Amino acid sequence: MVQAWYMDDSAEDQRRPHRLDPDQPVTVQQLSELGVHSYKLDADNYESDPELAKIRKENNYTWMDIITIHKDTLPNYEQKLKIFYEEHLHLDDEIRYILEGSGYFDVRDKEERWIRIFMQKGDMITLPAGIYHRFTLDENNYVKAMRLFVGEPIWTPYNRPAENFDARTKYLQFLEQKA
Ligand code: KMT
Ligand code: NI
């Protein structure tokens, strides 16, 4: 199961875990109430994995590519990492599957507190359209991830505040109905 916890608000390096003391873990159930879903898959066999094929088929994730985030492989590495770590939302779901390495996806809970989700090899996550989130590498400074999308991808991030989008309104309604 994917590990997640509430973050401290210290200004130290974003790549550090930022766990509270004492630790305040977040369960997959709590994540699912925010519309965040995770799967554990066999990353060594992603090319022929029937489980992955099933998820893609059931959710219509027709499009995919693989991104490698490392200073020697990603063009404009520093700039991209900065963009990834700006709090933002998208108008579509963000779906990521970690094939190698690791990193953190941070999402806001209902009270606007940051939850840090530790994503390692084999972890897949779906972030709903309209949720505020961000991504950072951890101290290993390396991740290889599959990006999935329903149809032609639109990556545009809308940095906070981005309240006036349908996707945001719908997401807030979803949270409301869960409350
Ligand atoms: C994103 O959109 O934040 C990313 O693609 C981050 C890297 S995927 C592990
Ligand atoms: Ni994003």
Write out pLDDT tens, residues 118-153: 999 999 999 999 999 999 999 999 999 999 999 999
| Pocket, ligand 1, Cβ cutoff 6 A | 67, 69, 84, 94, 96, 103, 135, 143, 145, 147
Tell me, in angstroms, the distance from the centre of ligand 1 to residue 84's CA. 6
Per-residue confidence (pLDDT) for residue 150, from 0 to 100: 98
Q: Which atom of ligand 1 is nearest to the CA of 84?
A: 3
Report which residue type is found at 13. Answer: D
> What is the residue extent of each domain of the chain?
3-178
* Ligand 1 atom index nearest CA of 143: 9
pLDDT in the model for residue 178? 83
Q: Cα(47) to centroid of ligand 1, in Å? A: 20
Nearest listed ligand to the Cα of residue 89: 2
Q: How far is the CA of 110 from the centre of ligand 1 (A)?
A: 22
Give the span between the Cα atoms of 148 and 61, in whole angstroms: 6
* Residue of 96, 106, 144 to test ligand 1 pocket, by largest number of atoms within 8 Å of CB: 96
Q: In the prediction, which pLDDT does 174 show?
A: 98
| Residue ranges of the chain with per-residue pLDDT less than 50 | none
CATH superfamily membership of 3-178:
Jelly Rolls (2.60.120.10)
pTM value is 0.98
Q: Which atom of ligand 1 is nearest to the CA of 157?
A: 2
Token reading at 137: 């590498």
Residue 6 vs residues 14, 40, 121, 125, 163: alpha-carbon distances, Å:
14, 21, 21, 17, 24
Distance from residue 130's CA to the centre of ligand 2 (Å): 10
Query: Rounded CA gap, 105 and 115, in Å?
Result: 8
pLDDT of residue 78: 97
Residues 6 or more apart in contact with residue 71 via CB below 8 angstroms: 77, 141
Whole-number Å distance, alpha carbon 155 to ligand 2 midpoint, is: 8
